């Protein structure tokens, strides 16, 4: 049975659409469609949301916030001769993975507290090779940020949101 969430307003839907646009992951029209398709009712004061849908919205908001933070920090790679150039990670479609180290206890839907990221990329790969890239990227993150006040989570795999948000975070924020 769907729950009614009167506190879930069009503002949250607009936030998701804005984050999609800010990260460059969709066109303005696609972001608007995402926000409109998320709503179960045209009345933002009385949105009906399936229990899992609220969790999907939280996961989507956190994915886009974290991706925006990573992209804003500037994924760079060392080029020959010591200079650095912007990494093509956002434009690649396969053979890539991105993991982030997040402090879920201090993060909110409005503010992400994170410690860093790790990534790998390469040519188009098979599903088995992509799984290996995902595992190695997560291992790289854990090795790089061991002992820090954050937990590594795979954020992106071959351009797809694969973020697993901890149950405690979902319990806190998926109720809105």
pLDDT in tens, 12-50: 445 445 554 554 544 454 444 444 444 444 444 445 545
Q: Output the pTM of the full model.
A: 0.67
Pair type for strands 96-102 and 114-121? antiparallel
Give Cβ neighbours of residue 26 (< 8 Å, ≥ 6 apart). Answer: 20, 34
What is the spatial distance between Cα 170 and Cα 58, in angstroms, rounded to a whole number?
Answer: 7
Counted residue by residue, the chain has a size of 176
Mean pLDDT value of segment 81-106: 79
Pair type for strands 160-161 and 151-157? antiparallel
Q: What is the percent of the chain where pLDDT is above 70?
A: 61
Q: Where are the beta strands (DSSP E) in 6-159?
A: 47-49, 76-78, 84-86, 96-102, 114-121, 151-157
Q: Where are the beta strands (DSSP E) in 29-150?
A: 47-49, 76-78, 84-86, 96-102, 114-121
60: Cα separation from own chain's centroid: 6
- Using left for φ > 0, alpha for ψ between -120 and 50, and beta otherwise, residue 89 falls in alpha
**In the chain, what are the domain boundaries?**
3-173
Indicate the burial class of 23 (C-beta count within 10 angstroms; 0-12, 13-18, 19 or more): buried
pLDDT of residue 80 exceeding 80: no
């Amino acid at each position: 049975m769907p729950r009614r969430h009167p506190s879930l307003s069009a503002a949250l839907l607009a936030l998701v659409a804005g984050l999609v646009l800010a990260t460059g992951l969709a066109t303005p029209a696609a972001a608007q469609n995402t926000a409109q398709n998320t709503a179960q009712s045209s009345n933002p004061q009385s949105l009906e949301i399936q229990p899992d849908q609220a969790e999907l919205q939280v996961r989507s908001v956190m994915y886009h916030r974290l991706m925006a933070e990573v992209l804003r920090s500037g994924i760079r790679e060392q080029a020959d001769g010591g200079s650095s150039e912007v990494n093509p990670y956002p434009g690649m479609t396969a053979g890539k993975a991105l993991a982030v180290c997040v402090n879920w206890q201090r993060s909110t839907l409005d503010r992400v507290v994170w410690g860093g990221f790790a990534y790998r990329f390469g040519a188009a790969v098979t599903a088995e090779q992509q799984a290996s890239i995902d595992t190695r990227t997560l291992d790289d993150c854990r090795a790089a940020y061991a002992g820090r006040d954050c937990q590594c989570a795979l954020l992106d795999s071959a351009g797809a949101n694969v973020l697993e948000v901890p149950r405690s975070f979902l319990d806190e924020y998926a109720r809105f």
